[in-house]
Chain A
Amino acid sequence: MPVGVFIFLGVVAIISSLGVVLQRSPIHCLLALIMTLVSIGALFLALDAVTVGFLQIIVYVGAIMVLFLFVIWLLNLQADEAPTGGLGLKFFATIAVAAMAAELFIFFSKTRGAMEAANVAPGYGSIDSLAQSLFGQYLMAFESTSILLLVAVIGAVAIARRTIPQRERGPTKGTPTR
């Protein structure tokens, strides 16, 4: 991919992810997160992972993040008040995070090679090649994820459903109301 593209997307991604962490209002954080996801998706596209890139945007941005949005609305989350206490933990956490960043950078700086268009087969990242892997080598995993999703849906409903006693629920359908 062109260096310019990488730099642009990378900067956007980092800034917006910082926004996720640093902003007060949950909805701003959410938008920042969406921004990050979109830029990462764009990076996927630039990495010839076309299908996954679009899926990233469709699934993450188009579905999961909307779920977050709904929850923000449902709970009517406002901006956090000024953080109180726990500064010691924050301090050490910052140090730990810095250390982790250092480690990871050293670690990944050992990754060699640069992107040439040459080293991928034609049709790499296209939906058929993905499908070949998904429905070939990873079929079992694919099917089991469907079960996972089903379970997740049921679990989510079971957890989040508010159980209302009959009297509060009022007259149910079919019962005469007067």
Chain B
Amino acid sequence: MRLTGYFIILIGLAGIHLSCTNRESAVEKATKNKILLFGNQTEPQDLDPHIVTGVPEFQIIESLLEGLTILDPQNLSPLPATASSWEISDNGLVYTFNIRKNAKWSNGDPVKASDFVFSFQRILSPALGSEYAYMLYCIKNAREFNKSQIDDFSEVGVKAVGDSILQIELCKPVPYFLSLIAHHSWYPVHPPTILRFGSIDTRGSKWTRPENFVGNGPFILDSWDINKIIIVKKSGTYYDNESVSLNGINFYPIENNLTEERSFRTGQLHITSSCPLNKIRWYRSNQPQNLRVDPYLGTYYYLVNVNNKPLDNKNVRKALALAIDREALTEHVLEGGQLPAASFTPPNVAGYTYGNALSFDTTEARKLLEEAGYDKNNPFPPVSLLYNTHESHHTIAQAIQQMWKIYLGIDITLINQEWKVYLETTQNHKYDLARMGWISDYNDPNSFLDLWITDGGNNRTGWSNLTYDSLVHAASLISDKEERFRLFSEAERILLDELPVLPIYFYTNVYLIHSSVMGWTPNILNNHNYKFIDLE
């Protein structure tokens, strides 16, 4: 028994020793040194703006590099950044940017217009295999170059006139072009650094390592420990250094959202990337000032495979849509402040709002089902709902399964597949209904409506409607806002009448933020340039 006695005394001692080391929380210390502690969800694939696609990568790159324009956190309108000013030709096809004189790279080199030409050529070069190259297809001949139909980059509508003038010629007018180029696919890279570690289109080169990275953003890359931490420090060469109040940012790749929330609660993080569903209710009642529920430019919907019986019948699709109690879902199940989706595009996308097309009407839904010929003696054939393995999809699918069972009396089976298997199944149209979500990259209805044009890359429903295609195509050619929005709403009316997709709710970005963080204004693109952030 002596042994266990020693054991207990040992633990007691360790406990006392640890508890008496009282220290101010990490957040208080960091706030004093103006270092932002940022929960960044996962380990970034890479820090090369032309290769990465995810949000965690973008959050870091945004501090290291800066494009021609940045977005105003309040209204997401484009602000001058590396380009101090610009002129647009009358036909809206040619944009001329004046590069800021005092814009410098972190190694002191001045930022030249040719750097941008080099960068656009890099992301468009086929060998790099960039998944976001299509963002630049609005430039003349960019698509052809990227599909290696032409291989001389000089034919692409990008020209550097001297060191400080950059001219971009588009193949069609793009009203939202100035906010489009704030996307990281348009970011410049430092040509000498790229060429030091390989050719212009070498993928996965070592240039993004802390010791090699050269950027033109407000911060420089200080250290990168895999799955542990990424530290950026304030850059000395940034042209607008005075207005940058942060001294540095620590990015923590904490994958488990429960761990992230706990770290926040013990003062180890200023901001988290998300908030676990079940904690929202607690924060809403106990610490409302730390909880943020910002609208987010994205829609959660179910894909419908219009070729499979019985879903090929429009009435059936409509019945299914009307039998979903979206209020109950968002209020009781999700509790994340999400808005029930009565249309496909979220409200107020750059001023465009479609209005409510879908309501919760079970009698109408049952009537439609009967019209489609399904009732007691002709039972509804088996239909499956596919979703990928994730906590909230799991809950939502079961709730909707139950709603369709009670309100329409139909039984659907739920199939839960691992992420990549799920993607493969949807791409090969081997499903009846499938969960899908779309978060827009830029603030324009086009990003939502051009998804469903006939054999569009992301149109996995097999649905095709020529009038819809022509309307969306026409809207993309016109620069006048009212006319474009009229065409878009006409197209969305067709979409919501045919219902190849069943919109469920509009995303919200729910996260936790410490009261000492200033200037983190909410916006639907979740875009927060670190220049405007401060710590009290």
Task: Answer yes or no: do A and B interact.
Answer: no
Partner-B contacts on A (CB < 8 A): none
